[in-house]
Chains A and B, each alone.
Chain A
Amino acid sequence: MENNLIMSSSPHIHTNSTTQKIMLDVIIALLPAAVAGGLLFGIYSTIVLASAVISAVLAEWIFEKLLKKRNTTGDLSAVVTGLLLGLNMPPRIPIWMVCVGSAFAIVIVKQMFGGLGKNFVNPALAARCFMLIAWTGAMTSFQTPFDAVTTATPLAIMKSGAEGTMPSLMQCFVGMKAGTIGETSAIALIIGFIYLLARRVVSIKIPLAYIASFAALTFLFGKDAFDAQYLAYQLLTGGLLLGAFFMATDYTTTPTTHLGMIIFGIGCGVLTFLIRRFGGYPEGVSFSILLMNLAAPLIERYTVPKSFGNRGGARK
């Protein structure tokens, strides 16, 4: 027998799950929200999404080309970053701003720190906050779906009594309200999230802890405490669902331990409540997640699970 045997350390088999497949699952899970955004806000919003994705991939490709690094666009993580950023954009944002934002997310936040798996904050969220500060006007100008009448978001109306009519809860649920491209349709986000859970891409721990802690605080200490309708509005409007489902579950910038995930989620919930209730902004999801991203390594360090042999219970 001709001997071409391969020697290697065990194990000798490997799962067929890959980084690329995980990213593809996340993209699939974001598609309902993207489609809903396109239907609600028209063709221009779809162009915004497309340019966010294309510029993110292009930014990664050019950066790696310039630095003579291996091309990693094939892992699809840049597509996810671009798509998430696009979904966080107001429907009428100028395209060039989107491109700058995407490049910022990829180059400054992700690649400068070593690329996939090394960034310390969520690239899409960091870019969104950067854009919020750089172009406050464009980033806070929202329209109603279909007729594109400029209006305030429901959260802004609730917070400061800004000009505009409140949509009904049902309208909020399907997405008939002002907001960013991807955040308005709760039902689309929920469908996508169920897909992610079914595919076991993410665990429910962080979103559950996030939404439950935020809901509890809002119900007890909100502007209209003990008001179920106010609570429902708080949950269904703004970026809470988009953030909790898809941003706070980002692998790289969240703890990997079970207890850590719960603490992370509660932290996000508390911060979102504090910002929405007492802060200057009507919306606090982005900042909350970003702040908790920074705390993630610390949380992970203090929530190392007790190993099998150190849990006690040898004799009962």
Chain B
Amino acid sequence: MAATFKGGFHIRDRKELTNEKQTVRLPDCDMHIYPMRQHIGAPLKALVSVGDKVKVGQKIADSGEFVSAPVHSSVSGTVTDIKPYFHDSGSMVEAIFVENDKEYTVSDDVCPKDYKSMNHDELLSVIREAGIVGMGGAGFPTHVKLSPKQKVDYIIVNGAECEPYITSDHRYMLENADDIIYGLKVAMKVLDLKDGYIGVELNKRNGIEAVKASKEYGENIHIIELKTKYPQGAEKQLIKAITGRNVPAGGLPADAGAVVINVATAVAIANAFKTGLPAIEKNVTVSGDAVKNPSVFRVRTGVPVSFLIEQAGGFANAPEKIISGGPMMGISQYNIDYPVTKTTSSVLTITKAEKTYDPDAPCIRCGRCVDHCPMRLMPMKLVQASKKDDVDMAQKYNVLECIECGLCSYICPANKNLLQFIRMIKPEVMKKVREEKNNGK
């Protein structure tokens, strides 16, 4: 029996568009753009100025704070501009423009490191200096994740990849299985754990085989087969499936004794030690029915998405929607000029945008949202609260536990887009909680 959690729903995954195809390396791109916000945490300051020469792997932005991660140049060349530019979050973010000299001269700081001879603090420092963040999309600095306040029992590599269309992690498993396990072993050493876990959804059987066939694989590496079900890759659901533990409300995975890192993150960690290169490369799935040739690309960060779409054969049809990330949790974009960052896992192009909200259809109380909510909430009650602007009711129904997976909206036969209403009331509840906390002090 494949491990899983209660709730969730199998969504047609459409991964067949790209999962059989070898990862494609991109040709040279003239201009690379590096937004100075590719992580969650303290803002960065540019370490270079216009006119400076930079090399591959050179740090170009950093902050003195612990909860932050530096940004590196993925090419060698000249800094031509530093100005606000498009970012897939939708807002304009200060970005460093580097003109690619196509030499790919590697920075002198880049050198292989032997993780086995390093101590805990040295390991964390390498991971931080490599700018590694949650590459699945969250962007939380990995060295912070690997420094939990309490002792943990599990380190889990998240290979669920439950979002439809995306096959970036799947291709990593097939092509970089050694790196995944290598990265996991580094994380195990940091956390002082003997065993490591990799959770993979069963729609990637050949991925599981590839990881098991890796020369790094051993009996202390446990590959857990997960039921193919959305949102199996959500952190809390993954921990539940593998350890049986529930992360408490408002708590972190470490409160349940677990740390989860993404497959792409594990690969980035492996690179930081094996070659010394920081997080400047990653798999990006370009898929959907609007591009001619959906593919997974191995991308140097900073490449504009328009370049990726060109490489995927350009548009077969005019897209109605461009999404950064998966179709369930991704962010719709208003242009294709934004650059690939460390957290970009996919670009989806959709010819005919599906109708995701019907203002007229009434809720028929079918209870599907309650049945399938992975957080065991009652989404339709949260919508009621949101419509009435009733903060207390939303709080009573645990609105802050919502992980915004979007399953309730997806599954609603009346097409109510429940998540949108939940998002509207959530900040108000947060505000109330914060005020209560402040008054208590």
Contacts of A12 in B (CB 8 A): 321, 323, 327-328, 330, 332, 348, 350, 353-354, 356
Is the pair B164, A309 in contact by a Cβ cutoff of 8 Å?
A: no
Q: Which of B191-199, B201-209, B403-411 contacts A (4 or more CB under 8 A)?
A: B403-411
**Residue in contact with B415 in the complex, picked from A4, A18, A70, CB distance below 8 Å:** A18
- Chain A residue at minimum C-beta to C-beta distance from B7: A308
Given A13-B327, A309-B246, is A304 in contact with B257 using a C-beta cutoff of 8 Å? no
Q: Which of B172-180, B215-223, B368-376 contacts A (4 or more CB under 8 A)?
A: B368-376
Is the pair B375, A309 in contact by a Cβ cutoff of 8 Å?
A: yes
Is the pair B406, A10 in contact by a Cβ cutoff of 8 Å?
A: yes
- Chain A residue at minimum C-beta to C-beta distance from B402: A307
Is the pair A309, B397 in contact by a Cβ cutoff of 8 Å?
A: no
Is the pair A11, B327 in contact by a Cβ cutoff of 8 Å?
A: yes
Chain B, interface residues (CB within 8 Å), range: 35 or more
**Residue in contact with B411 in the complex, picked from A3, A8, A15, A77, CB distance below 8 Å:** A15
Is the pair A252, B415 in contact by a Cβ cutoff of 8 Å?
A: no
Contacts of B365 in A (CB 8 A): 117, 251-252, 254, 256
B338-383 residues at the A interface, CB under 8 angstroms: 348, 350, 353-357, 360-367, 370-371, 374-378, 380-381
Does B27 reach chain A (CB closer than 8 Å)?
no
**Residue in contact with B364 in the complex, picked from A2, A117, A257, A308, CB distance below 8 Å:** A117
B238-285 residues at the A interface, CB under 8 angstroms: 240, 244-251, 255-257
CA of A3 to CA of B337 in the docked complex: distance in angstroms?
12
- Chain A residue at minimum C-beta to C-beta distance from B424: A9
Contacts of B251 in A (CB 8 A): 309, 314
Q: Mark A1-31, 1 if CB is under 8 A from B, else 0.
A: 1111111111111110111011000000000
Q: Which of B28-36, B99-107, B110-118, B312-320 contacts A (4 or more CB under 8 A)?
A: B312-320
Q: B372: shortest Cβ distance to chain A, in Å?
A: 10
Q: A2: shortest Cβ distance to chain B, in Å?
A: 7
Q: A294: shortest Cβ distance to chain B, in Å?
A: 15
Is the pair A308, B236 in contact by a Cβ cutoff of 8 Å?
A: yes
Q: B186: shortest Cβ distance to chain A, in Å?
A: 25
Does A282 reach chain B (CB closer than 8 Å)?
no
Interface residues of chain B: helix, strand, loop or mixed (majority)? loop
CA of A309 to CA of B336 in the docked complex: distance in angstroms?
38
Chain A, interface residues (CB within 8 Å), range: 35 or more
Is the pair A9, B420 in contact by a Cβ cutoff of 8 Å?
A: yes
CA of A19 to CA of B415 in the docked complex: distance in angstroms?
9
A248-272 residues at the B interface, CB under 8 angstroms: 251-252, 254, 256-258
Q: B169: shortest Cβ distance to chain A, in Å?
A: 20
Q: A14: shortest Cβ distance to chain B, in Å?
A: 5
Contacts of A22 in B (CB 8 A): 364, 366, 413
Is the pair B236, A251 in contact by a Cβ cutoff of 8 Å?
A: no
Does A310 reach chain B (CB closer than 8 Å)?
yes
Is the pair B249, A310 in contact by a Cβ cutoff of 8 Å?
A: yes
Contacts of A280 in B (CB 8 A): none
Contacts of A18 in B (CB 8 A): 413-415
- Chain B residue at minimum C-beta to C-beta distance from A305: B376
Q: Mark A49-73, 1 if CB is under 8 A from B, else 0.
A: 0000000000000000000001000
